[in-house]
Chains A and B, each alone.
Chain A
Amino acid sequence: GESVGLHLPTLSVQEGDNSIINCAYSNSASDYFIWYKQESGKGPQFIIDIRSNMDKRQGQRVTVLLNKTVKHLSLQIAATQPGDSAVYFCAPNRSQGGSEKLVFGKGTKLTVNP
């Protein structure tokens, strides 16, 4: 079956350091990928997305890298702040019956220490 995994269930960093959250996916047909951030008591919040025709995309303090050869993507957060503490999900797409689904992993919990 299809799976989405993350290399570490938890990640702890010092404020000001850079964070890297990794994600592996299994479906080689996935061509669209989203990173979400979920803070305690809230729903998942869209951070950044990337399509398969790109291998890198940058946003404000975040960069997503995509390696389709090994089916891996990563989210890099620069100068991590306490407000970045949350659970981060990658969600590759999967097309089925003409409509698209997102496949979610269990997430990585990022803790930023002051």
Chain B
Amino acid sequence: ETGVTQTPRHLVMGMTNKKSLKCEQHLGHNAMYWYKQSAKKPLELMFVYSLEERVENNSVPSRFSPECPNSSHLFLHLHTLQPEDSALYLCASSQDTHTGQPQHFGDGTRLSIL
């Protein structure tokens, strides 16, 4: 059982489609994160939100658009993706972005771009 829930678990889309990934945390945390996990590569931090404000954008292409309507929900809107964007997208949350706070992860959305 996880306190961070991601939907859908799997997504197949064409390069011209528009889709959204959803993340919800039930831990009462104030910070949320999007990571990309590709095969044989370390986790790559994409975005960080603290109290619904984006505090980090790690040079992510504009075809990825995050949204954080409240501290419990985080979305990643996708449009005109490329085949190299196929990966596992992980959401995480933590109490805040201060030092010494563990991040808790969801089980991810497996994204395949055709």
Q: Do A and B come from one complex?
A: yes
Interface residues of A (CB under 8 A from B): 4, 31-32, 34, 36, 41-46, 49, 51, 89, 93, 95, 97-107
22 contacts between A and B (CB under 8 A): A31-B100, A32-B99, A34-B103, A43-B2, A43-B92, A43-B106, A43-B107, A43-B108, A44-B105, A45-B105, A46-B102, A51-B100, A93-B99, A93-B100, A95-B99, A97-B56, A99-B50, A99-B55, A99-B56, A99-B98, A106-B40, A106-B41
Closest B residue by C-beta to A3: B42
Most buried by A among B4, B43, B92, B108: B43
Query: Contacts A95-B99, A99-B97 given: A43-B90 contact, CB under 8 Å?
Result: yes
Q: How far is the CA of A21 from the CA of B90 in the complex (A)?
A: 24
With a cutoff of 8 Å between Cβ atoms, the chain B residues found around residue A107 in the complex are 42
Known: A100-B99, A101-B48, A104-B42. 9 other contacts (CB 8 A): A32-B99, A32-B100, A34-B102, A34-B103, A43-B90, A43-B105, A46-B104, A49-B100, A51-B100
Question: What per-residue 1/0 map shows which CB atoms of B31-48 lie under 8 Å from chain A?
Answer: 000000000111101001
Asked if residues A104 and B43 are in contact (CB atoms below 8 Å), the reply is yes
Q: Nearest chain-B residue to A36 (Cβ)?
A: B105
- A-B pair count, CB < 8 Å, reads 61
**What A residues does B92 contact at CB under 8 A?**
43
Interface of B is mostly: loop
The interface bits of chain B over 51-65 (1 if a CB of A lies within 8 angstroms of the residue's CB, else 0) are 000011000000000
Within 8 A of A (CB), among B1-24: 2, 4, 6
For A93, the closest partner residue in chain B by CB is B99
Assuming A43-B2, A43-B106, A44-B105, is B90 touching A31 (CB within 8 A)?
no
Residue-by-residue, is B69-98 near A (CB-CB < 8 Å gives 1, otherwise 0)? Answer: 000000000000000000000101000011
- In the assembled complex, the CB of A38 is this many whole angstroms from the nearest CB of chain B, namely 8
Which residue of A has the minimal Cβ distance to B100? Answer: A32
